[in-house]
Structures are given as structure tokens and as C-alpha cells.
Structure 1
Amino acid sequence: MTIAAPPTRRDIAYRGFHLPADTTAGTADGLHAAERGLGLRDADQPVSRGTWTSPPVRVGFAVAEVVPSWTADAPDGCWIEVELRGWHDDGPSTGWYLLARWAADDRAVQRTSVPGQRDGDARVDTDTLIVGGATVTGWQARVTLCRPADSPTGPVLRSIGAVATGPTPTGLADEPGYGADPAAARGRVLDVPRYSQRLHAGQYPQWGGGGDSWCSPTCTSMVLAYWGAGPTPERYAWVEPPGPRPVVVHAARHCYDHAYAGAGNWPFNTAYAGLHGVDAFVTRLRSLAEAEAFIAAGIPLIVSAAFRAGEVPGLPYDTRGHLMVLVGFTADGDPVLNDPYAPDDDSVRRAVPRQRFEAAWQRGSGGVAYVLRPASVPLPPPPAQPNW
């Protein structure tokens, strides 16, 4: 049995751009400020593409991985393309890599990551840019908005950001640390609805088959429901027969990555959430101490962990990567989860030992968390090295 390691301090930095407010920070070509973001200029003309390029984001440490995330609207037939490149000192240190070709729907354009991108500088692993031989101390994003020439409307980009992570821990994390007040989170459990992914076992093989593979969209659906921000019934009326929870089927279809052949692409899930009016992004947290700050602020987190049966008491199964909703903490500081792998809704809620779960989360994904919240709900103050 693996013994839980103490939490480690790791270089992590998140930077997001909200549009059109941050438009002048970057460079726009063929775009204009729309009501809720940046849209294609001259929608009645046969202009089919426009780009926004962020300024270089210098993070001040050697970067090993970068994960982008975004929110956008994309009418049927329209899509966006999200690219990243590494940056060092005063210039780019890698070429551009295409991380996503994303569409809100799948009837005309299949949303997909883009496999096969690898060179001596870096490589793309589904939703993550992994640095190889290049020296990278920052990143730059480029988003291209695309529409068919005969489309009366085009996509609108509302936000784009990325989390950069250093290669190795730089020491032990503080507990409780990072300015969080554990008393504000301990003993607090947010009333997030409980959904079991396994109620959908064997359903819709064209979108990953339900059951074992829908943890991410099930979690995203739980948190959207918590905020009262999910899709309206007419949006998922296509699910026939409706089954136990059609809103989860709808989410799985609209988070599905056709190259990855699954619904667990991290930024595809936050982009889906963003379609429903919430601010949504992917980041990494260094410890449960940082997560306590979110619970204290009333914000549940979707977290990704990996473990073997027996490593985390209360989670009696093997997984190479599984998403759960962190909904609170016991009075003693143990995390309380909504685990969608439970066999039914009633058994979704469970408390697990703090150190063992923290080790499975940090080891399994480097502390990945989806942050979903209405813009009216403020984020907690970030640490000195801001990762949200």
C-alpha cells in the first residue's frame, strides 16, 4: 500500500484574460468587441476567421506543463481553435501547438484535441502542453474564431487563460498555509446535488459509454446544478429515452473529445460549463489548504485524483484518473466528496482521510481543479504566487 506523502509546495501560476475588458492587453485581428466578449468583425461579410493573441505571460520559473482553458459561445457550424507556445526572456522559445478545435455542439464540427504534435521542444498530451527540450519560463495563447462563410453569426470569445506548472516540488507545503483560514472551511459542507455516473452504465457508446467514463461531465453537471446554471430542459430534450438523468447525458455529449474518445478533457468540461453563464477555468492547487479557501468562499471544486483500491479509505476501486467534487471538510479537516463513481445517488457523498486523498490528488494530476462559479461570487484572495 502506498503511504501518503506530505503535501509539497510547487511552482504554479494561473493567468486569465476576460474579454473584451482585456482586449488591449493582446492583439486582435479581424475581431471587434461584442456584447459579451470578442466576435468576428463584419458578420454580414464573407470573413470567416479572426484571431486574438495574448501578450506573453512570464511566470518566473521553469515551466514543465501548461493547460489552457476558455469560455466562448459558438453557434452551430462555428468553432474556435486554441493554440499555445512557450516563451522565454524576450521571445518565443517554441512554435505554436494546437491544443483544441472546440465547438459548442457536434452536429457540424466535431470538437477535438489534436494528437501527434511532438518535436524536440514540446509535445501535446490531449489537453496539456508538456515542455521537452526548450527553455520555457512563460507562455502565449492564440485563439482563432471560425465560422462558415454562409453563417449569419459567429463565435464569441469571453475568456482565455492557462495554468503553468513547474517541473518539481520546491519544498514542503505549509499546513494550513497560503493565508487560508481552516476554521472557515472545516465543518462546512456545501449542498451540491449528488449524481451517480454509474446510473448511465452502457449508455451512448458514441460518447464514451456512460458508467465508468463519465465522471467529469457528471461532476460538471453537479456543480452547475449547485449554482442553478445548468441547461434548460428543452436543450436536453433530445435524450430519448430520458433515462435516470438526461442532463448528464447532455453534458457528456457536449464535453466529448472525438480524438481522445472520452468526455474527460479538462478544458472541454470548463468550456461546457461556460456555456451556461458561469466563469470557468482549469487550474492546479498545491494542497487542500488552498482548497479550503474555496470552500470557505462557498465555491465547490472539481478535482482529479488517481489511486489504487485501498490507498484512500472510502474509495475502494482502482483508477488512473477520476474526477470528484470537493464539497467541504469535516470538523477535523478531512475532505468531503461527491464521488460520482458511487453505485447510486444516495451513496455519492463520502468523507475520506485528508493526507491520503491529498497525496492521490497531487500525485495523480498535480492538483488539477476545475473552478466554476457565477461572476457575482468572488474568488478567495490568491496566494503570493497566484494560481487563480
Structure 2
Amino acid sequence: MRRSALLLMFGALVLFGVAAGDGGRAEAASPAPYVDFDRHQSHAALSSGSASGVVVTKTKTGGVVRLAEGRTGGTLTSKVYGTSFPFDTLVPSWNARTPSGTWLTVEVRVRDRETGWSRWFSAGQWASGSDTIKRQSVAGQSTTRWALDTDVLQSKGRVFADAYQYRLTLKTKKSGATPRVRSVSFANSDSYRHGTSLGHSSDRGAWGRNLAVPQRSQMIYPDGGEVWCSPTSLSMVMAYWSQKQGVAGWNRSVPTVAGGTYDHTYKGNGNWPFNVAYASSAGLDGDVSRFGSLAQAEEWVEAGVPVIASLSWGQGQLSGAPIPSSAGHLLVIRGFTPSGDVIVNDPAASSNSGVQRTYKRSEFYAAWMRGSGGVVYLVRPVGWQKPSQTYASGSW
């Protein structure tokens, strides 16, 4: 992430008294969006590329990519997707199931506006279990103009692309077993505009709403819990949907989710697409996207969907936080107070009972934009109604 550019931008916004897109009432006219989120899940979309050794079958909710009969490997290369504005940052995510003996890789390349197509960058090899391969991202992927750091493809300097293309590779070691990919998503954005106002005025429909997300602390686990913010947040959201939908299998312990999201190259559990892919392997839908305002998060909470957000803050920058600072931390937005402050489940609390907290709206927004430029996990049941496009600004 371009943290130095983002911090400079934040300083300018504060200097000129701009509300920085936090969803309050005093917003300027809506500027052009800087996030272009694409989700490819329909049979037509998944079938529009070129396939070798794989087939795309129709389902009630769209399409599924799987290996052709008798094949142990195959690829699907998508068509070229242009974006509505030049971008310098891309975050992939996918929804899939990988039975024992199977795995997949997701690759992406971008069309640089000056030099043409980049090389293919790998988002890693992935399987929901650990009995077949080591789930891992790929280190050392860099050119003079682009680099993929674990889960984010980012340009170097003021370099922009105007299109992307993805490639799925499916593999199996077991006859008759195949990965099944039901969606591939990409959050493309202009990082120089992360944190700038989207002109959203909150409709306050979520103010006073607090979703019943179970409280779980990462800190009660001695063997790695201090770095388990992402799987703990995901475990809480999966447990919420388990209670709401009556699906017992979605209620999984923090250590179980941590084991299912571990990246053997990154040596941690914070790989964004690996987390939503894990939720999808249990039967939920999940995407990594990027928001620019709390008004957008409010729309999802109003739709009954808790939002997992990525933050960072320094000493004194997030009042009431259970830890004094963090260079990168994930938590769950579960609601808003009647005055619009943010109600969260913060897994860094020392016990389960202290997980629910309330953060000042302006402080939370600054930490969110500073930490990740507004990155979110959107995990919900398949077919769950999304908010309207009124506040989307390209983010869903």
C-alpha cells in the first residue's frame, strides 16, 4: 500500500477541513469513483474466456469451473476486462471448493498504459485443506513497474493500467475429484485517491443498529493468537451466519479457521483472499473489496451483513482500542450507535467479554483508510441480497 502518499493526502484533507468521506452530513458533491470491483460468477462470464481441460457448468446461482472428465489439470483464461478508470492496485479473491487431492492457482496480468501487458502474477496455490499441498502465496514477484506482495498487485510509482485478465489453473491427484470455482473477483483502484471523499451522506438507516455477532478474542490462544486477528474476525462472522441461518457447520473455532487460512509463504493468516476463500469453502460467499466511506459500510450493516475491515493506528489515534497501536489489524464492524460512532468486535481484546467496543467515527475512519485504503471482507450466504447501488461507487 502507498502509505506515505495516503498519509500526505490525509494531512491535506484535514488542513482544508474536508470530512474525508466518513459518511457524515457535511459532504461535497460526489466525485468520480476510484474503485472498480468486478465479480465474475455467471455461466456466461466464466464461459467467455478460453478453456483447456476444464468445463463451465450451469448452476442455480451462476456457473462453476471444474476439470473436464478424465483430466488431472486444466486452465481457464478469461477475456480481457477493461476498467472505468486507470488503476494501480488490484486485489483478487475467489470462491471455490477443493476436495481432498485437489487445488487451484489464480493468476492475473494487467495492461500497462505505457508498456502493454505485464507478466502473469500468481496469487498463490490454494486448497481449503492441508492434506494435498501447502497453501501458499508466491514471494519475489516483481518487475520494474509492477509487483505482487502476497495478496496485492501494486504498481511502482505513478504507473497505471487500464485492463486486466485472469487465469485459473485446476489440479487433481485423485481420479474423479476436481476443484470447483464458482466466482473470481477483483478490486481495482487508484491508490492515490484512497481516502478521498466519495461525497456520501449517511442515510443513518444503520445508526442504532447492532448485529448479534458473537464475541471472540484472539488473545486467549497462547500458540499464535496475537497474530490471529483475521481468522478470529472471520470466525466471528461465520458464527454469526451460523446462528442466523441455522447452519452448524459455519460455526468454527478460531484455531480451526486459523489453520484453514494459514499461508506457508507469508507465514501468517492475514492473506486477504485466502480468508474469504476459506469462508467460501464452507458454503458462504465472500469477496475482498475496498470502500471509501463509512456510509458504504452502513449499507451492508443495514442489510444484515457484518463487515470485516483492515486498520492501522498509532499511539493515541484510536481511543478505547485494546492495544496502543497496530501496523495492520482486522476487526468486525457490527453496528453503529444512535450518533453514528462505530460498534465493532475487536479480537485484540484480552477476553471474549471485552471484544465489543465503540470507536469514534472520525478516528475509526482515519485508521481504516490509513491501514488499508478501506479494504473489507464481505462474507454472507450465497444469494444474500446486496445493498442497492446508491452508495456503491464501484465497490460492489
Match for residue 387 of structure 1 among 379, 382, 395:
395
Task: Give the 3 Å change call, closer, same or farther, for CA 145–91 of structure 1 in structure 2.
Answer: farther
**Where in structure 2 are the equivalents of 1:290-329 lying within 5 Å?**
290-315=296-321, 316-329=323-336
> Is it true that 1:137 corresponds to 2:162 in the alignment?
yes
Residue segments in structure 2 that go unaligned for 5+ positions in a row: 1-9, 22-30
> Is it true that 1:279 corresponds to 2:285 in the alignment?
yes
Contact 2:198 2:292 survives alignment (8 Å) = no
CA distance in 2, matches of 1:167, 1:176: 19
CA distance in 1, matches of 2:121, 2:94: 16
**Where in structure 2 are the equivalents of 1:1-388 lying within 5 Å?**
5=14, 6-8=19-21, 11-34=34-57, 37-42=64-69, 45=70, 47-87=71-111, 93-132=117-156, 135-148=160-173, 150-169=174-193, 172-174=196-198, 176-177=200-201, 181-182=203-204, 184-200=205-221, 202-203=222-223, 209=224, 211-228=225-242, 247-315=253-321, 316-382=323-389, 383=391, 385-388=393-396
- Displacement of 1:375: 2.4
State the SS of the aligned residue for 1:197: coil
State the SS of the aligned residue for 1:270: helix
Give the number of the structure whose residues are more often helix, by fraction: 2
State the SS of the aligned residue for 1:159: strand
Task: Give the 3 Å change call, closer, same or farther, for CA 171–359 of structure 1 in structure 2.
Answer: closer
State the SS of the aligned residue for 1:60: strand
- Displacement of 1:89: 7.1
Residue identity (%): 36
- Displacement of 1:371: 0.2
- Displacement of 1:121: 2.6
CA distance in 2, matches of 1:230, 1:100: 33
- Displacement of 1:174: 4.8
Contact 2:241 2:247 survives alignment (8 Å) = no
Task: Give the 3 Å change call, closer, same or farther, for CA 65–147 of structure 1 in structure 2.
Answer: same
State the SS of the aligned residue for 1:283: strand
> What does the per-residue CA deviation read over 1:97-129, in whole Å, with 9 as the maximum and x for residues that have no partner?
111111111122001000001111311110011
- Displacement of 1:60: 2.6
> What does the per-residue CA deviation read over 1:207-262, in whole Å, with 9 as the maximum and x for residues that have no partner?
xx2x21111011111111111179957x9xxxxxxxxx971111000100000000
Task: Give the 3 Å change call, closer, same or farther, for CA 91–60 of structure 1 in structure 2.
Answer: farther
CA distance in 2, matches of 1:330, 1:105: 39
Task: Give the 3 Å change call, closer, same or farther, for CA 371–90 of structure 1 in structure 2.
Answer: same
CA distance in 1, matches of 2:131, 2:279: 19
Residue identity opposite 2:207 in structure 1 = R
Tell me how large the CA RMSD over aligned residues is.
Answer: 2.5
- Displacement of 1:295: 0.9
Residue identity opposite 2:107 in structure 1 = E
The residue aligned with 2:5 is: none
Q: Normalising by structure 1, what TM-score? A: 0.87
Contact 1:215 1:323 survives alignment (8 Å) = yes
Q: Normalising by structure 2, what TM-score? A: 0.85
Residues matched between the structures, number: 363
Residue segments in structure 1 that go unaligned for 5+ positions in a row: 204-208, 236-244
Task: Give the 3 Å change call, closer, same or farther, for CA 274–295 of structure 1 in structure 2.
Answer: same
